[in-house]
Amino acid sequence: MLSYQVIENGKPLEARESETPEPEGSEILVRVEACGVCHSDLHLWEGEYLLGDGKKLTLADRGITPPFTMGHEVVGVVVALGPDVPGPDEGGVEIGDKRVVYPWIGCGTCDVCLRDEELLCLNQRTVGVRAPGGYADHVLVPDAKYLIDYSGLPTELACTYACSGLTAYSALMKTGAKTEADDVVLIGAGGVGLSAVVFGKSVIKGKIIVADIDDTKRSLARQSGADETVDNSVPDAVDKIREITGGGAAAAIDFVGRPETARFGLDVLRKGGTLVSVGLYGDAMPLAMVLMPLMMLNIRGSYVGTLQEMHAVMALARAGKVPSIPVAARPLAEANAVLNELRDGQILGRIVLKP
């Protein structure tokens, strides 16, 4: 099989041929039809996250060292089955089934995995991070339960739900917004932020307000269903949001993860509000401690989403309740060019690679 691998962090990916794996036990071999290129791939490629004050979290600190194959938004066709894979009537799959891969896979045997909270597992087998991913022509999946039907959806769009769609949905669920009075501010209308706009109407009853410094992204957010948009680089941006929300938002989701955006997210909250932190841009910020108790604020982190949330996302998408985000396909051989364009902020919506 052919893979485009990270051989050295930050250097161009290299094409490598290797033996196509034979599935064992409950494993399934999927021939990749498309794989999304995600912002978090940039961190995996470059090998580090910025923690502020010059400190860094490296991938080696997380136990991930090259060579490895990125790509966690994988869609493809089942081409080989391990001997223990159940048939379609028993919740399994058969050869020829077209499926999206749920990539956020735990060890499967520890306490949190057994209670379906695999994201909390300390020994993860994430496809495209800790197990070989979809920048390749084949991917091995450990169990049929991680393969999700996407009938009725375009193949190239379906794979984006495994990360950007799922991350957006899970973050929306963590806002705690329940009523029409609970407005939510989405900061950053890149790939994941735009997915949140698109899923927003299915989850949030109040207004969805998008803050982005880029005029093109704001207009794309409006076209995708945002009720209001605000340029968060202007001095009175916080006042504008207080005016729109009648005193402050119930929640803000920071899809960027810079000190400025997190600060903005906290500043627009009303009492008891929640900031959901999603973006991995990096760096650090000071926090006025008294505001936490006086304003009864919550800050919580959100990383991708659970298998149950993935099923909810796919059900919403298949029910036609989610307008599609712009998706463009490029050949797998252009993986390096696409990563560079993504790093330089030149991509609207999502690019998928096709082997």
Minimum Å distance from CB 209 to Zn ion?
24
Query: Binding residue for Zn ion (CB under 5 A) from 3, 40, 224, 232?
Result: 40
CB under 5 A: which stretch of 3-11, 117-125, 171-179, 310-318 binds Zn ion?
117-125
Q: Contact with Zn ion (CB under 5 A): which of 37, 74, 113, 339?
A: 113
Q: For residue 222, which phi and psi values (nearest 5 degrees)?
A: -65, -45
* CA dist., res. 167 & res. 220, Å (int): 19
Question: Scanning residues 177 to 236, which ones bind Zn ion (CB under 5 A)?
Answer: none
User: Coil, strand or helix: which one is 267?
Assistant: helix
Binding mask 127-166 for Zn ion (x = CB under 5 A): ------------------------------------x---
Residue 306 interacting with Zn ion (CB under 5 A): no
**Nearest in space to 210 (alpha carbons), one of 183, 185, 233, 243:** 185
Strands 228-230 and 208-211, by their bridges, are: parallel
Look at residues 276, 326, 346, 334 and name the one whose alpha carbon lies nearest to residue 305: 276
CA distance 10 to 340: 10
- Rounded to the nearest angstrom, the gap between the alpha carbon of residue 213 and the centroid of all alpha carbons in its chain is 21
State the minimum distance, in angstroms, from the CB of residue 109 to Zn ion. 6
Q: How many residues bind Zn ion (CB under 5 A)?
A: 8
If the CB atoms of residues 170 and 232 are measured against Zn ion, the closer one turns out to be 170
Q: Which residues pair with 327 in a beta bridge?
A: 350
Tokens linked to 212: 């982005």
In the complex, minimum distance from the CB of residue 167 to Zn ion, in angstroms, rounded to a whole number: 7
Q: Quote the DSSP letter at residue 127.
A: B
- 67 preceded by cis ω (within 30°)? yes
Q: Does 121 bind Zn ion (CB under 5 A)?
A: yes
Minimum CB–partner distance for residue 6 and Zn ion (Å): 15
By C-beta, is 100 or 121 nearer to Zn ion? 121
Q: Quick one: which of 57, 23, 21, 164 has its CA closest to 103?
A: 164
Task: Return the number of the residue (35 or 322) whose C-beta is nearest Zn ion.
Answer: 35
Task: CB nearer to Zn ion: give 163 or 351.
Answer: 163
Of the two residues 105 and 210, which places its CB atom closer to Zn ion in the complex? Answer: 105
Residue 167, CA distances (Å) to 49, 80, 117, 180, 292 in order: 19, 29, 15, 23, 26
> Which is it for the CA torsion 34, 198, 149, 38, positive or negative?
positive
Name the minimum Å distance from CB 331 to Zn ion. Answer: 20
Q: Which is nearer to Zn ion, 40 or 261 (CB)?
A: 40
- Determine, following the binding rule CB under 5 A, whether residue 120 of this chain makes contact with Zn ion: no
List the structure tokens of 342. 């993504």
**Residue 279 in contact with Zn ion, rule: CB under 5 A:** no
Instruction: Identify the helix (H) or strand (E) that includes residue 191.
Output: helix 191-203
State the minimum distance, in angstroms, from the CB of residue 48 to Zn ion: 17
Work out which of 42, 57, 64, 110 binds Zn ion, going by CB under 5 A. Answer: 110
261 lies in the site for Zn ion, by CB under 5 A: no
Which of 129, 175, 183, 134 minimizes the C-alpha distance to 2?
Answer: 134
Site string for Zn ion, 20-39 (x = CB under 5 A): ------------------x-
Question: Quick one: 121 or 307, whose CB is closer to Zn ion?
Answer: 121
107 vs 295 by CB, closer to Zn ion: 107
> In angstroms, rounded to a whole number, what is the distance separating the alpha carbons of residues 38 and 41?
5
| Residues in touch with Zn ion (CB under 5 A) | 38, 40, 106-107, 110, 113, 121, 163
